């Protein structure tokens, strides 16, 4: 029987843990605050940011939201980040990606105070992660690790294939999987658009993390029987639904379920975990800033 890895359920557990830590902070006189910054008209980005704000409310984190016109000069975004860096009530800052083409993403990520960089995208935090001394693990790969832990998936010695090498998913995912320690010690292959023979690599993989952004391009016939499949992809495809679209992963769920040992659905898999780990990192940031022991790894 294929096990369904229920990201919504594990994310609810993480939020409950975060809510407890928020109480610890409150009793020390600290209300954690998360600022989300949106400079985009993309409807998907708007949806994600409003979900993040709702999550904050649920666990007792103060949500602060800033919207900037997508055609405003880049300086407006830099100034917003400077203000948020200075504010004592803001412990975490997330600039929703992608930013418009006229804004340099690298400069934006460098502008965020690394101690408030709850995405973990600032080069200082990337460096710490790679060095095995992470402060904020990027939310999606961290969420994947929590899922693997919750379902007792053995990564030690496993052959893992990560599909995608982006800075926000693929690279940090691979970095975490190769690290010594729990939910690590995997032998990890990172695949991308120039990879030759992806099929051959998948056929040997005990663990597949798919993050290419291509709707349902992996099917059951490509997988090793019993493999654990983590589908990070979230793709909007035209469908005759109320919203006019449906969400599908990078994996053809029905077909992959025939072969996989365990699999995450889309929606309800990695997505909710990404949001939960953002709350987690925000509470961690507030603990560091105010020297309150919140006991989060
Ligand atoms: N569940 C969640 O919480 C999150 C979901 N996502 C979703 O995950 C997906 C990936 O996101 P993100 O990493 O930001 O995307 P990017 O577009 O930044 O990266 C996609 C990666 O996939 C690689 N790729 C493209 N085509 C192929 C192919 N045919 N075979 C193998 N690799 C390929 C690209 O290679 P190359 O580098 O050569 O171009 C690139 O490295 C998207 O669907 C996104 O919506 C993203 C973040 C969070
Ligand atoms: N600075 C920054 N940090 C990010 O972490 C970041 C980002 N920019 N830009 C875009 C990607 C994408 N991402 C998602 C998070 C949650 C869901 C999510 O919760 N998905 C739900 C469904 C959502 C829906 O219904 O549309 C699910 O899969 O069940 C999806 C996507 C974070 N990202």
Say what the pTM is. Answer: 0.98
C-alpha to C-alpha distance for 62 and 31, rounded to whole angstroms? 7
262-263 and 3-4 as β-strands: parallel, antiparallel, unpaired?
A: parallel
Q: List the chain pLDDT tens, one digit each, 297 residues.
A: 899 999 999 999 999 999 999 999 999 999 999 999 999 999 999 999 999 999 999 999 999 999 999 999 999 999 999 999 999 999 999 999 999 999 999 999 999 999 999 999 999 999 999 999 999 999 999 999 999 999 999 999 999 999 999 999 999 999 999 999 999 999 999 999 999 999 999 999 999 999 999 999 999 999 999 999 999 999 999 999 999 999 999 999 999 999 999 999 999 999 999 999 999 999 999 999 999 999 887
What is the rounded CA–CA span in Å between residue 213 and residue 275?
A: 18
Neighbours of 42 (CB within 10 A): 13
ipTM for the predicted complex comes to 0.99
The half-sphere exposure of 73 on its side-chain side, counting CA atoms within 13 A, is 3
Q: Is 119 a known active-site residue?
A: yes
What is each CA distance from 186 to 34, 179, 232, 290, in whole angstroms? Answer: 33, 8, 18, 36
What are all long-range contacts of 19-26, with beta carbons under 8 Å and residues at least 24 apart?
Answer: 19/58, 19/59, 19/60, 21/283, 21/287, 21/294, 21/295, 21/296, 22/59, 22/60, 22/61, 22/283, 23/60, 24/292, 24/293, 24/294, 25/283, 25/286, 25/287, 25/290, 25/292, 25/294, 26/60
φ, ψ dihedrals at 294, nearest 5°: -105, -5
Residue 164 marked ligand-binding? yes
CATH fold, domain 28-116, is Rossmann fold (3.40.50)
Q: Could you tell me which of 294, 297, 273, 21 has the C-alpha nearest to residue 150?
A: 273
How many Å apart are CA 201 and CA 106, to the nearest integer?
Answer: 32
Altogether, the residues listed in the chain come to a count of: 297
Q: Is there an atom of ligand 2 within 6 Å of 119 CB?
A: yes
Topology (CATH) of 139-272: Rossmann fold (3.40.50)
pLDDT at residue 108, rounded to an integer: 98
Answer whether 67's CB lies under 8 Å from 38's CB.
yes
Residue 166, C-beta contacts closer than 8 angstroms, at least 6 positions apart: 211
Cβ of 234 less than 6 Å from ligand 2: yes
Residue ranges matching CATH 3.40.50.720 in the chain: 139-272
265 lines ligand 2 (CB under 6 A): no
Q: Tell me: the pLDDT tens digits for 117-164? A: 999 999 999 999 999 999 999 999 999 999 999 999 999 999 999 999
Comma-separated ranges of CATH 3.40.50.10860 domains in the chain: 28-116
Residue in 48, 53, 99, 118 to alter for ligand 2 test, most ligand atoms within 8 A of Cβ: 48
From ligand 1's centre to the CA of 162, what distance in Å? 10
């Amino acid at each position: 029987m294929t096990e369904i890895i229920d990201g919504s359920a594990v994310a609810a557990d993480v939020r409950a843990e975060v809510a407890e830590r928020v109480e610890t902070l409150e009793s020390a006189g600290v209300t954690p605050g998360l600022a989300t910054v949106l400079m985009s008209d993309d409807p998907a980005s708007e949806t994600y940011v409003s979900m993040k704000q709702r999550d904050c409310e649920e666990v007792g984190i103060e949500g602060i939201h800033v919207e900037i016109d997508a055609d405003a000069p880049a300086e407006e975004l830099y100034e917003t980040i400077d203000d948020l860096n200075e504010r004592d009530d803001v412990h975490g800052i997330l600039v929703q990606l992608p930013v418009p083409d006229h804004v340099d993403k690298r400069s934006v990520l460098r502008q965020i105070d690394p101690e408030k960089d709850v995405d973990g995208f600032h080069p200082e935090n990337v460096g710490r992660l790679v060095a095995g001394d992470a402060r904020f693990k990027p939310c999606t790969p961290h969420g994947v690790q929590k899922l693997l832990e919750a379902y007792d998936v053995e990564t030690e010695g496993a052959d893992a294939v990560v599909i995608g090498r982006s800075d926000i998913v693929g690279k940090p995912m691979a970095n975490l999987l190769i690290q010594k320690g729990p939910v690590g010690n995997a032998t990890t292959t990172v695949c991308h658009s120039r990879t030759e023979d992806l099929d051959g690599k998948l056929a040997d993989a005990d663990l597949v993390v798919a993050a290419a952004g291509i709707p349902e391009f992996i099917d059951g016939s490509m997988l090793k029987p019993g493999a654990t499949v983590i589908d990070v992809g979230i793709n909007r495809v035209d469908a005759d639904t109320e919203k006019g679209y449906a969400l599908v992963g990078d994996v053809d769920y029905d077909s992959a379920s025939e072969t996989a040992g365990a699999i995450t659905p889309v929606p309800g898999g990695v997505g909710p975990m990404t949001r939960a780990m953002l709350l987690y990192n925000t509470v961690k940031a507030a603990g560091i800033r105010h020297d309150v022991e919140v006991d989060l790894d």
